[in-house]
Every structure is written in structure tokens, then in C-alpha cells.
Amino acid sequence: MNNFVLLMPLFLLGTGLVTIFTNRSISKFLLLIVSIFLPIIFILNFSISGNISYNWLGNSLINLSLSLSITKLLFFAMVWFSLFVYSIANLCTKNREESWVLFAAGGLGLSIFAGDLITFFIGWEIMSWASYLPILSRSKNVKVARKYLVFGLTGAMFLLTGILLIGVSSGFNIQDILFTKEVYIALPFLLIGFLLKSGIMPLHRWIPSVYNESSDLFTGFLSGALSKAGVYGLVLLYIIYPHKSLNFLPIIGWLGAITALFATFRAIKEPVIKRLLAWSSIAQLGYIFAAIGLGTAEGISSGIYHAVIHTIIKVLLFTTVAGIIHRTGKTRFDQLGGLINKMPFSFIAVLIGIISLAGMPPLGGFASKWAIYSALLSSGKILELIIIIAASTAAFIYNYKLIYGIFLGHPTECDPNDIKETPLGYRLAVILPLILLIITGMYPSLIYKIINPILGEIGFGSINQDNPQVLSSLLGSYNGFVVMLTFGITFVVILFLFSLVKGKSRDVNRLDIAYAGETPEDSYPLHYGHGMGQEIDRIPFIGFWLSKTTKGFYRYIHSLMDQLSSLIRLFYTGNIATLFYVLFIGSAVLWIFVSGGKM
């Protein structure tokens, strides 16, 4: 046993098993202790290399193994971070989901640390079922749980097909895979499984409804950690396959760019808070896949950078929103408004989150998007760059909607006088994400000390970033520390000037406004969050695409499967001889396909 760090996923799975048999208080305490203990394990057993192997049933062909690398550690760090924030906020809830969260985190950790494809798939399935079962247990809408199950099983079938194609020709050990015809055939199967897990269009339909039906805190873990499974899978393809053979990369780039744009339009129109954040997550993963799909050092590094930032932002926003829902019981923008004075901490947390999500300086989201823009430009992907910039610009609308709909404007169904700040656990949980966004804003190239070794592991050259305060790219360079200092000084000056005139201001009734000659009735919604973003349908191009959904695509798939099933059913005539001939011919065709007709 070379490294105790490799046992961290198994430690999570074991603790998850223990929490099944403990009461709620002990389960929450165990989850918190485990999330604190994981980084201690890493520090005391610091290493970025190592492996563990186990020959299952003495069969060397089925060699279950775990291995360590800087790539694996970074992606597992995202899992730990999401788990840590969840464990703190979870102390304030009455949910009993600790076991599922630990199983999901342990399963994903097992996939990340896997040294072979069998272990990878086992972890993948543990993660998938652990995220599905809590939704099934609490969802009032059976269709949502069924949709998640169908998409999950479909993704698993594609992954398993790809893994078996690789295994029969080259073995399952990831480092020893040889590039054969079967391995190349496996590529689209693996890719579909990864795209589906991250919700890249048109394989995204499960995400908004599943995120909305999940418990409020668990949704943050879904977005922050589990959505990165597909991103890790895409990076893994660079390890398995020779880079020149990855001729699918332009398709991935375009799918990512289109996903970023149209998921942004959906988010703008969305009236439900968690569904807006879900569409936003789909859009941000579109940025990540568009960048990694470039197949260059700049593209992969910027995609991984944005994956880290996305994890921090989404954990921050989903946790804060969960606290707001916990206090108010409201989930829609037209039910909230005017909470800024009662929830100042939550307002600041969401404000910092949306500034980063929109890619605005001086916070970390600006640096990762800057890197993506530069990578697209240096690769000559001008049209994709235009689409990504358009998506990022349009994201300002749903980001403003998020903060306006909850905190600003007129109160609707919630009386601010009856509302208090979110519970202490929710506030403590988001302190670490807030600090990290500020640090990544001040030191935008610091993360390249981790990303550059990752580039080396997958066969690319490093990105030269000498000063951690300065991010350099084809677009130029900027000093994050100076930008942060400038914004900070400007804010202090504005705050000082505001304090000078505050004594001359007066409080007015919230209804003391101009109505353009009309007096609204009491039932008329004065809060603009009631309909913000709905007018986007008026824009011809956007309205046309929003009216088109992927339902038609899936109806077509359903029709094909129905016809295929009917065709297969014809072979079951009850005649043994007919069935034998079908099996013989099918086996012969499969043998010729796999072996090329060689004995």
C-alpha cells in the first residue's frame, strides 16, 4: 500500500455506510468530521504519486487499482470542497441525506483515483445511484426521478460499452491502453457518457428538473462536484488517446459554445430560482467544454481553471439560495423581493457570486473567462469566440435577475418584517468560497502552479505565468492585485461620499413612486422580478430558438427505439431453429466486426 491518500474515497464510502445506522445528529456530525479530516489525511501523507492494486478473484485481467496524480488530486479537491461546504450548512437542516452525499462523493472519488476502467465504472455507478435515490425518495414528481434514471442508465450503458471495447483489445489498465481499432471505436461511447453527465446540449434535459427537485443543499453538491465527473472524463480521454486521434474536438467545441449561449437564454427566462441556477450551470459547463475541446494547452488549462471557479461559485450561490429558501419557504422570483435590509450577508454573498459568474473584475471569474477568450482567439476559433462572448454578455441579465428578484424591488409574498438573516450554519459555510473568489481575483495566475503539472501529465507544454498577481495571455495581461486594490479604494470612496449625503436623505414609503398616471390595484405585482426576462421572447432569433426544444429530438429517438424493438420481436417466433440461426449469424457478424475476420 503506497499511499494512504488513495484510501480517501473508500473512507467516504465506509462513513456513508456507518451513517445509515446512526441517528440524524450523529450522521451530521460524522459528515462534518469526515470533511475536516480529509485534508488532514492529505497533509500528513502528502504525495502526488502512488498506486494500490487488487487482483479480483485472482484474475489478472480484472485488476482493480487506484492511482495518484496531480490531475486526480485537483478534481478530488473540488469534490472535497463541495462536501465541506455542504457539511457545515447541513447542520441547520432536518434532512437525512448524509449517507447519499458520502456515497456520491466516495463514488466520484473512486472514479477519479481509478487506475483502471473497471474501478472507474464501479465508482461512476455508485455516484450515479447515490445521487438518484435521494431524488426518488423526496420528489413529488415521479416523472423527474424517472427521467433522471433513464438518462443515468443510458449514460452508464454507453460508458460500459466503451470500457468493454477497450478492455477486450487492450486491457483495462488506463496507463497500459494501446491504441487499437476497438479502442478508437470506443471513443464516441465514452464521450456520450461524459457529455450526458455534464448536461451538454442536447443531452441536458434532465438537469433543470432534477436540480429543482433535489433538496436545496444537495443541489449545490450536484452542481459543484458531480457535474465535474464529465469534465474529468473529457480530460481522461487526453490520457487514454493519442492527441492526433481526437478528431472529435471541433464538435465538442461547438457543442460547448452552443450550450453556453442557449442555456443562458433559458436562464434569463426562468422564473424559478434553482432552475435559473441549473440553466446557468449548463451554460458554464458549455464554456468549459468549449475550452477543453480546443485540444491545446491554453484551451485545456482555461477549461480546468473555469471548472475550479465554477465549483466555487455554484457552491456559494446554491448554499446561499438554500438558506434563503429555508427562511422564506419561497422558490420563485415573483414570491420574493425587498430582502436586502433583512439579509445583508446573503445579499453580499450573492453579489460576489454573480460578479464572478458574470466574469467581471476584480474576482476570480474574470480570470478564467479571460483565459478562455484568449485560448479561443489563439486557436483561430473566431466564431466560437463571438458566441461565447455573446453568452457571457447575456449572462449579465440573469445574474441581475438573481439578485434583483430576491433582494431588491418591492416585497411580494414575503413580508420583510417577518424575515431574518439565513441561519448561522449557512453563513459560515459560504465564508470559504467568498475568500477563494477574492484570492483568485487578486492572484489570477496562482492556480497555474497546479494546472501546469496537469498539462505535463496529459502531454502538453506548460503555460508560462511568472507572477501570481499577473495573468498573461494573447489578449494581453492584467495585474489582479492592482485591479482588486483599485476596486477596493473606489468602493471606499463611494461609501464615504454616500455617508456624507445620507443625513440629507429621507425615508419614503415603498409605494411612494410614480405610476405614469395610473393607480395600480393591491393585487398588481409591483416587483419587476414577477416578469423579468420574459420579454426575451420578443427578440426574433432568441424567441425562435426558445420555442424549439429538444423534445422533438427525443421523440425521434423514441420512435427509432420503438421500431427497433418491434423488429427484434419478430425474431422471437417460438421456433428454436430460427432463434439458433439468428444467434449464429449475429455472432458471426460480431466476430468479423471485432477481429476483422482474423482467426
**pLDDT tens readout for residues 271-301:** 899 999 999 999 999 999 999 989 888 999 9
* pLDDT at position 518 over 70: no
CA distances from 271 to 11, 330, 583 (A): 40, 12, 53
pLDDT of residue 180: 78
* Residue corresponding to grid cell 425562435: 544
Per-residue burial over 92-119, b if 16 or more Cβ lie within 10 Å, else e, is bbebbbbbbbbbbbbbbbbbbbbbbbbb
Span 249-275, average pLDDT? 90
Q: Is 60 exceeded by the pLDDT of residue 1?
A: no
Q: List beta partners, residue 114.
A: 66
pLDDT number for residue 434: 94
The pLDDT score that the predictor gives to residue 571 is 63
Per-residue pLDDT of 72-123, as tens digits, reads: 989 999 999 999 999 999 988 888 888 899 999 999 999 999 888 888 999 9
Tens-place pLDDT, residues 22-31: 888 888 889 8
With cell 489570477, the residue in question is 444
Task: Identify the pLDDT of residue 97.
Answer: 84
Specify the pLDDT at position 182: 80
Residue 314's pLDDT band (boundaries 50, 70, 90)?
Answer: very high
pLDDT number for residue 333? 85
When pLDDT is averaged across residues 478-489 and rounded to a whole number, the result is: 90
Say if residue 550's pLDDT is above 50: yes
**Averaged pLDDT, 166-170:** 83
**What confidence tier does 515 reach under pLDDT thresholds 50, 70, 90?**
low
Nearest of 132, 179, 178 to residue 155 by alpha carbon:
132
> Does residue 427 have a pLDDT over 90?
yes
* pLDDT, averaged across the chain: 83
The predicted structure's pLDDT at residue 574 = 62
**Would you say residue 219 has pLDDT above 80?**
yes
Query: What percent of the chain clears pLDDT 70, i.e. is strictly above it?
Result: 83
List Cα–Cα distances, 307 to 125, 128, 260, 283, 478, in angstroms.
Answer: 22, 20, 14, 12, 21
- Position with higher pLDDT, 514 vs 366: 366
Higher pLDDT, 201 or 317: 317
Domain boundaries of the chain, sorted by first residue: 1-240, 248-501, 551-595
Q: Does 187 have pLDDT greater than 90?
A: no
